[in-house]
Amino acid sequence: MGRRPRLMERFAAFLPIGVDTPPLGLGEGFTPLVHARTLGRAIGVPQLFLKVEGQNPTGSFKDRGMVVAVAKALEEGARAVICASTGNTSASAAAYAASAGIEAVIVLPRGKIAAGKMLQGFAAGARVVAIEGNFDDALRIVREMTAEPDPRHPLALVNSVNPYRLEGQKTAAFEVCEDLGGAPDYLAIPVGNAGNISAYWRGFKEYRDIGVIETTPRMIGFQAAGASPLVQGHEFDDPQTIASAIRIGRPASGQLALAARDESGGLIDAVSDDEILAAYGDIARLEGIFCEPASAASVAGVRKAAAEGRIDPGATIVAVLTGLGLKDPDTGMSLATAPIEAEPTAGSVRAALGW
């Protein structure tokens, strides 16, 4: 029995890596694809599958791309990485930089990052800069800081505008095809900065081009209504949503996402915060999977599209759950009720339960 491969080894033929690329890895990828029978029946699409990306090392899909981006940064001589983030990119960058023995600098919108994600950055020893502004401002700043190389601070930008990020993230599409034995009919995904939908589409196209799959899915992306520039067709100066991970008004990969939509015959739509929170609770209670609010936008979108008759109910649908629920305990409290009080005896607990 051999050891299990690392993500970068498993898909090396599809990645821009070589013998000089350091073999980083924290156990990213190989996440479960769960047939959501109960939830699927409840929303009228029984062939609904959930790609549980919260099971990555730092609890989000970002790790797939970050391992490649940080390995390439090391290979190219960087001694630090920098990123803007709504929280998950920064948690991932901090962890992989720690593992690589280099510095991480993360620039965040003050007060808008879920508590667990903040903690992850600090725990890994990143330097955290909070700005009075939103994600789009933070991304503008880090792009400006890395526009010209500074020989005193060899620095790599590891937002998804870094091409290695999308290369790594496309491996999730490969795994979906392998687990299903072919492509799904639809791939439903939350859209923020629009890198991930673009990465999945690239992965499906590559598997089709080499004949691993015969068809490609329709890409169906979902933004939060208060942060839906790709749906409304204009940038949002002040995006707002409870799904803080996708609170983005100027998606850097917007053009790639629109191309993925059009080439695949898909759609990009908006879901309200109420629809997101309803899906967030249902995924946890009906399937036992606790994802973060932004992730639930994929399922909220499937529910909406199915109700509007925009999805064939017999289709195979994969909804990507991009991040782990524990990252955002404050929103998680909306799912909590007060505990039932009891005396410390079995009889009292039984009585409290009404048994």
Give the interface with ligand F0G as residue ranges (CB under 6 A): 60, 62, 85-89, 160, 190-196, 245-246, 292, 294-295, 322-323
The burial of 128, by beta-carbon neighbours within 10 Å (0-12 exposed, 13-18 middle, 19 or more buried), is given as: middle
Q: Reduced to 3 DSSP states, what percent helix, strand and coil does the chain have, rounded to the nearest 5? A: 45, 15, 40
Q: Name which of 88 and 316 has its Cβ closer to ligand F0G.
A: 88
Q: Name which of 68 and 245 has its Cβ closer to ligand F0G.
A: 245
Q: Name which of 60 and 134 has its Cβ closer to ligand F0G.
A: 60
In angstroms, give the least distance from the CB of 56 to ligand F0G: 11
Q: Name which of 263, 264, 296, 290 is nearest 278 in CA terms.
A: 296
In angstroms, give the least distance from the CB of 218 to ligand F0G: 17
Q: Name which of 167 and 292 has its Cβ closer to ligand F0G.
A: 292
Contact residues for 246 (Cβ-Cβ < 8 A; gap 6+): 86, 190, 191, 192, 223, 224, 227, 294, 297
In angstroms, give the least distance from the CB of 5 to ligand F0G: 25
Instruction: Give me the helices (H) in 181-247, please.
Output: 195-209, 229-232
Residue 29, sorted as left (phi over 0), alpha (psi -120 to 50) or beta, turns out to be: left
In angstroms, give the least distance from the CB of 42 to ligand F0G: 22
Residue 335 phi, psi (nearest 5): -90, -10
**Rounded CA gap, 256 and 123, in Å?**
34
Q: In this structure, how many other beta carbons lie within 10 angstroms of the beta carbon of residue 21?
A: 18
Q: Name which of 47, 46, 64 is nearest 55 in CA terms.
A: 64
In angstroms, give the least distance from the CB of 322 to ligand F0G: 3
Q: Name which of 220 and 294 has its Cβ closer to ligand F0G.
A: 294
In angstroms, give the least distance from the CB of 324 to ligand F0G: 8
In angstroms, give the least distance from the CB of 65 to ligand F0G: 9
Q: Name which of 145 and 342 has its Cβ closer to ligand F0G.
A: 145
Query: Which string of b and e fits 92-119 if b means at least 16 CB within 10 Å?
Result: bbbbbbbbbebbbbbbbbeebbbebbbe
Q: Name which of 46 and 66 has its Cβ closer to ligand F0G.
A: 66
In angstroms, give the least distance from the CB of 172 to ligand F0G: 11
In angstroms, give the least distance from the CB of 178 to ligand F0G: 22
Instruction: Provide the β-strand partners of residue 324.
Output: 291
Q: Name which of 25 and 190 has its Cβ closer to ligand F0G.
A: 190
Q: Name which of 21 and 73 has its Cβ closer to ligand F0G.
A: 73
Q: Say how far residue 304 (Cα) sits from the centre of its chain.
A: 20
H or E, element range at 338: none
* Maximum C-alpha span of the chain: 71
